[in-house]
Chain A
Amino acid sequence: MKKRAWKILATSLLAVSTAVVLGACGSGSKKSSSGSNDNLPDSPYKVSKETPAWKSDDRKNNTLTWYVNADWWNKEYGKDYITKTIKKDLNLNIKFITGDDTKLNTYFASGDMPDIVTIGDPNSKVARTAKQWAYPLQDLATKYDPYFYKVARKDTLNWYKLDGKSYGYPNYSNTAADYKSGNILPRDAFIIRKDVLDAIGDQDFTTPEGFIKGMQAIKTKFPKLTPFGFNDFSGGNSSLENVVQDMLGVPITTKANKYYDRDLDSDYLTWLNAFREVHSDGNISDDSFTDDSDAFNEKVSNGQYATIMMGSDVNHGTNLQDFASKNPNSKYVAINGIQSTKGNEPTLSQAGISGWLISYISNKTKNPAKAIQLFEYLLSDKGQMLVSFGEKGKMYTQASNGQVTWTKFANNVQLNEPTKWQKDYRIGEFILFGHDRYKALNKSSYVEAVWQMQDWGKKYLKPQFKIENIAPDPSTQESRALSAVQTNWSTTMVSLIRSKDKAEFDANVAKYKKFQKDNNISGINKIRNEKIQENIKKLNE
């Protein structure tokens, strides 16, 4: 009898769970698959091309939810000067939500979308299918806020076009014009401790032979230091891959605009072989391959490395500054080093036209007019100056050439009340639409320790837009193969440097080439070539 009761209980449980599951599916399938936009509500105010719409929209108490796919984003709103001003100017309350990919996927699966969605990966499925879930910015701008066209960069909008319309707008998107203007600054450099540089006499770090000799010289004079260091491997292949390739000016495509495998460039391999010799001399520490970012940061701020191939000096600014402030005579400086054996100039890269975090307006939003106003506001000169520098007059002054300097008051707060600087003023932190072209107006946006490094590389900046986002779409066979190839390359690259002799080095290269072949590299490259062509087309529009 017990059995029967159990059966009843089990059946009812099953029924309940099925009902719940079906209910969940039901709400999911309701989601429409196409984003038709002809049903946009009429504009509640008079639209003008010449003035920003937020000035004529007098609706009160607007609220938008803004999902940022980054757990570190600060969700405070309306407490600091910057968001207070946004709140007042736009009559807008923003509810920030943060999360990771799992949470983002839950939103999509449930169909219950936030009004604005910010994601980090332009290559992701979410970004590639934006048509299904986001409003085209052009439709919204034309209908509610044509002033948007004045503040958004045409190049950037073109870059994010899917079938003729753009759905997302990135922050830190640098256009070709930005690269030309000199308003954006490089971030990579070969740096050396000044006391080391002075002590080792005349050394030439630009050629492989000179580099090996120079490291030996450092070892003899400074036995306690590690002669050569580079970024940690936790977030990728350290600075030994792309950054070194940029230093050597390895081409990004062939002359015919086909994909070029920079990892197998002969110039680059010559240098990897030089690093191998440096390693076998004991002048690269094996620990550099296992250190995480904390360990690397600590070593930088202690000046543990005599020289560093520094990728992204700005991100390591605090540590560099830390060391420089304590040891002004031995601070790190950028010098010419690691240069092409074929006479190529360095082609340093920076954030590209794809930018960093991309914001979309969901086609489920009830207030599309306010959302596009917010985009327009944040992209306008007013918004950019506000998020970069805060209140004019009180925090900063601007000279006629555009250069910005902090006021005495701002300097004082920054130096003595860092919590207030962050909490009450939130300067340099509200970056969802931030751009380098504004940040660079103020030299003090960067710590003093990196100024010389930035100056060193300024003339070498070159865009690499053509090869941005050219990886195969996720979940395809090619994407899986590419992931295998990349995993193998990470292992191979370190193995190359740790090879005992040239013969082992060559064998490792050959093994990698074979691995590429076995993993459909020709299929991957075919897709890359197609995407390069698409990119070129977009850039020429």
Chain B
Amino acid sequence: MLEEQIQHERRPNKFVNWCREWIHQWQLQSMVIPGIIFMVIFNFIPIYGLTLAFKSYSVTSTMADAPWVQFQNFKTIISDKYFWQSVQNTVGISAIKLIIEFFLPIILAILIFELKWTPFKKVVQTITYLPHFLSWIILGGMLITWLSSNGMMNQVLNALGISVHTNYMLDGNKYWWIASLSDVWKEAGWGTILYLATMSKIDPTYYEAAEMDGASKLRQIWSITIPEMTNIISLNLILSVSGLFNSNLDQTLVLMNSQNQPKAEVINSYVYRVGLTQGDFSYATAVGLGVSIISVILLIVTNQITKKLNDNQSVL
């Protein structure tokens, strides 16, 4: 009883203390303000634009004046064949990317980590990072030339005695692989950075002890390196799974042509085409909103699963 009373009396005190502390730290706290302003302007205010998904908006009226149409736009999406095609392509390409792009950087990072000769290590790192810094406009143009009928790909094959003159970009069935593998090539090296940073934090005495006990290199990797990286690996997994519906607009706009379009159109490029090119903003917003909702669901589900696998600890 008494204890409760004391707590009750303390309550306002605690808050005052908190305020005092806050005021005391005002220099530090004020540094957050630009970030908060930025968030409000670029993340919160635009949320208002989502109302477009439930309206029939045309550019000449204001967003507030546009008439409400409830779920009309979403109903149209359900029956839109091109939308579903783009979903299929997005998920297909993302799935391939997810599988390869999730494991490859881990393997690559371990390989780089195990390299002992520093100059060579630096060269390998630079070469694998490099494609990340090229834009898709440049890289896409290179790819189109390489895969054209007289491009590098065919010239290599011809030199090996296989006579082919196919233009690979016109073959829709190969597009998912072209898109995902080129993306892996571009991003795999960059993906190793987080892992390398984590690995450099591992206490070297673990390895020394393991070596003393006669553990082989592979055993050391399996029993020390990988367990130490579980957190960062699961974090990356959550992020990649929730990004299943994200697609690479730049890449698609460069690589897509009239022949591979049925296999190349992804959600982002579809929204871009419908929204910006055809001026159908409400519809495009509805598509974007729907995709965001699915992504959030995916994020929560993977988080739950990894939590289960990770002794009920969330890495988010």
Contacts and interface: CB of A to CB of B under 8 A. Distances in A.
Interface of A: 1-2, 4-5, 13, 16-17, 20-21, 24-25, 28-29, 31, 33, 101-102, 104-105, 108-109, 111, 124-126, 129, 132-133, 233, 237, 285-287, 289-290, 292, 295, 474-475, 477, 479-480, 483-484, 487, 490-491, 493-495, 498
Interface of B: 11, 14-15, 18-19, 22, 36, 40, 44-45, 48, 56, 58-65, 76, 80-82, 141, 144-145, 148-150, 165-167, 169-170, 257-259, 261-262, 273-274, 276, 278-283
Given A105-B59, A286-B167, 20 more contacts: A1-B11, A5-B18, A5-B22, A20-B40, A24-B45, A25-B64, A29-B65, A104-B59, A109-B62, A132-B61, A286-B170, A287-B167, A289-B257, A290-B144, A290-B167, A290-B169, A474-B58, A480-B278, A490-B258, A490-B261
A220 B281 CA distance: 53
Nearest to B63: A109
13 contacts: A1-B11, A1-B15, A5-B22, A24-B45, A25-B62, A25-B64, A28-B63, A33-B65, A132-B61, A233-B257, A233-B258, A286-B170, A479-B280
A286 B276 CA distance: 30
Given A20-B40, A102-B276, A498 B170 contact: yes
Contacts of A129: 58, 60
Chain A binding surface, main DSSP class: helix
Given A1-B14, A2-B18, A13-B40, A290 B257 contact: yes
A360 to B, nearest CB: 12
Contacts of A21: 45, 48
Nearest to B150: A287
Nearest to A28: B62
B279 A124 contact: yes
Given A17-B40, A28-B63, A491 B258 contact: yes
B141 A289 contact: no
Contacts of A29: 62, 64-65
Given A290-B148, A474-B279, A498-B170, A4 B48 contact: no
Nearest to A29: B64
A108 B6 CA distance: 61
Contacts of B18: 1-2, 5
A25 B64 CA distance: 6
B146 to A, nearest CB: 12
A414 to B, nearest CB: 32
A442 to B, nearest CB: 36
A493 B258 contact: yes
A289 B63 contact: no
